[in-house]
Structure 1
Amino acid sequence: MVYFFIAAAMLIIGYFTYGKLVENIFGADDSIPTPAVRLEDGVDFVRIKKWNINLIQLLNIAGLGPIFGPILGALYGPVALVWVVIGCIFAGAVHDYFSGMLSVREDGKSVPEIVGANLGLTAKQLMNIISIVLLLLVGVVFVLGPAALLAKKISFGLDPAVAKYVWTGFIFVYYFIATILPVDKIIGRIYPLFGVALLIMAFGLLTMLIVKGYDFYPNGLDLRNTHPNDLPMWPLIFITIACGAISGFHATQSPLMARCLPKESDGRPVFYGAMIGEGLIALVWVTLGMSFYQTPEALQAALANGGPAAVVDQISTTLMGPVGGLLAIIGVIALPITSGDTAFRSARLIIADFFKFSQKENSKRLMIAIPLFLVGFAITKTEFAVIWRYFGLTNQSLATIVLWTAGVYLARHAKTHWIATIPATFMTAVSTTYLCNAKIGFNMPYETSVIVGAAFAALCFAWFMFKSGKLAASTK
């Protein structure tokens, strides 16, 4: 038990120390009016209080990731705890801070625009494609996951497969409404309450794990690979545990709140802080996965009988009883739904930025939203496991590009770039190795993939160092 609280304390200390360092290096300046102040339009640019935005941002970025990913990551053993702590402080929170604050400095623009301003037109067009594909995958994943859970709990007397389609339809209707309404009508009012419920749910389960006398980490804390299928830890654990450590999806969400930030000094609690909050949730679910089932084999058996959703259901009901379990499941359902709608909202804004469409009028929002949802509904016909694999690949690739973007920005302004370029190099190796080795990628032999991944990461870093001096000189 003590190891969990040490890990949690490290995340909190990281916010106050490394988070402050990141803020100082960036140079947050409250004398610069934010887009919410300069461009307020009552739809997407709306000032919202700091701690409300923090909770909204937490819900926007969380989704199923800090629950499903850590459950699957728990199969690898205690190294999952280490990755959540180190990844969250030094990679994920840095990524989220810069994706938010660079948007603040660029009039609240979406991530492709930010990347394009720093890496050039080709990178911008690539990011437009990657971002929209990722957001559609996220939106669909965050429909199918909660729909499956709801169908198990409330079937309306229908066959479970039919009930799932009914719930899918209901969720899509809600997504559509939330996507086109002004940000303060639903998201700004209700989501802070869901954010609090999410935290209570996670730590309520942890409390009951303690009260009911479960042994924390019963197989010890050595960092050996304990995966029952002997899947390689590198790079799979860094793809599996994305949300909670580092996730490119967050870069698509941060500009939503960048358009609502009252002042720049609010960026650390909103962007860096929300990521630390997600890291704490991920720690809880890694711990539940490793401690509730006692062995990786037992967890694997539970996953084989319904996937991560079934694990969440079993853990919640066993630890908190029928009523508490239902409340926990509601929290798990609300979590992806409140990320899925903002995924579609982000996709709408990225497309609007690309075509220079004002989004103040309802008709122009509908022109983008209607075809977007038709495509999303078509994707729901694809097998969930396939969608999840593509999500993992595009997610971490996007995170890598955003970290390199932050590195270029810092170099161009003669600031310390290492806070971005070190995790960027690491994630380049992770994403490249996975792309080379995975069946949905190039399906290359594992050893070859590792070599290619390391070589490409080293090449990217060397190229950055070669260009960094010229970047700084070009701004003088």
Structure 2
Amino acid sequence: MVLEGLTALCWAAIALAFFHSQPQLAATYAATPPVAANEMATTLLGPIGVVLTIIGIVVCPITSGDTALRSSRITIADELNLDQKKLISRLKIGIPLFAAAFVLTFVDFTLIWRYVAWAQLIISSAVQLSATAYLIKKEKHYIVTLVPAIICILITFGYILQAPEGLKLPPMIANVISDIATAIVTIIFLKIKRK
């Protein structure tokens, strides 16, 4: 999954450099993303670039999807205390997961991706708050994890309050509410952890 993320960042950087400005990039990718990727790979890297492109664009996402489904199955099995040694017990969880993933392929991916990104911000905030709690407990400099956590919480609230797929509040109102909510969460967290 890390390799997929790095690959995506590399492709974004290459595309920005290759197409020189955002409008051309958007127009090319909106029309035919595979054509744009092929053009960049063959122009910049030649035939070897095409092979690397297939690995980066096809193989890495497939392995990430496989890993996501497997880890979801294991997490569900752990929560429900289900043994996963036999194939049939794995299939009981794996088939519904695969079916749900298949159904999601018919939904607009950009919409799903926005919810996934928002959920990742929530997870990031929770992890950073956990790290902050650990540093407070060990009496270390917890500010290094608290500040990024506060920023992530602020962005998380702000996004869902004003996003089209969220509450669709006007930006000014959403920003004020997110500022207040972030301050409340931060104060409550620090009060609890300092006890």
TM range (shorter): 0.7 to 0.9
Please, which runs of 5 or more residues in structure 1 have no aligned partner?
Answer: 1-59, 69-281, 471-476
Please, which runs of 5 or more residues in structure 2 have no aligned partner?
Answer: none
- 2:2 partner amino acid: I
Shift of 1:345: 1.0
Q: Does 1:297 align with 2:23?
A: yes
Moved beyond 4 Å, runs of 4+: 65-68
After superposition, give the CA deviation of every residue in 1:245-293 in whole Å (9 maximum; x if it has no partner).
Answer: xxxxxxxxxxxxxxxxxxxxxxxxxxxxxxxxxxxxx3x3443233111
- Tell me the residue number matched to 1:149: none
Q: Does 1:422 align with 2:181?
A: no
Shift of 1:420: 2.2
- Tell me the residue number matched to 1:358: 83
Higher share in helix? 2
Aligned length: 195
Asked if the contact 1:407–1:417 (Cα under 8 Å) also holds between the matched residues in 2, the reply is yes
The equivalences for 1:345-424 within 5 A come to 345-424=70-149
Asked if the contact 1:313–1:329 (Cα under 8 Å) also holds between the matched residues in 2, the reply is no
After superposition, give the CA deviation of every residue in 1:135-188 in whole Å (9 maximum; x if it has no partner).
Answer: xxxxxxxxxxxxxxxxxxxxxxxxxxxxxxxxxxxxxxxxxxxxxxxxxxxxxx
**Correspondent of 1:288 among 7, 10, 14:** 14
- 1:301 partner amino acid: A
TM-score (norm 1): 0.38
The equivalences for 1:190-339 within 5 A come to 282=9, 284-307=10-33, 309-339=34-64
After superposition, give the CA deviation of every residue in 1:424-454 in whole Å (9 maximum; x if it has no partner).
Answer: 1110111111111111110111222222223
CA RMSD of aligned residues (A): 2.2
- Tell me the residue number matched to 2:2: 61
Asked if the contact 2:133–2:193 (Cα under 8 Å) also holds between the matched residues in 1, the reply is yes
- 2:181 partner amino acid: F
- 1:352 partner amino acid: A
Shift of 1:404: 1.6
- Tell me the residue number matched to 1:433: 158
TM-score (norm 2): 0.86
- Tell me the residue number matched to 1:468: 193
- 2:31 partner amino acid: N
Work out the CA distance in 1 between the residues paired with 2:175 and 2:143: 24
Asked if the contact 1:352–1:358 (Cα under 8 Å) also holds between the matched residues in 2, the reply is yes
- 1:436 partner amino acid: L
Identical counterparts, % of pairs = 31
How has the CA–CA distance of structure 1 residues 67 and 331 changed in structure 2, closer, same or farther, with 3 Å as cutoff? closer
- 1:369 partner amino acid: G
Higher relative contact order (CA 8 A, sep 6+): 1
- 2:180 partner amino acid: A
After superposition, give the CA deviation of every residue in 1:300-338 in whole Å (9 maximum; x if it has no partner).
Answer: 22222235x554333212212344223322232111111
**Correspondent of 1:452 among 177, 183, 192:** 177
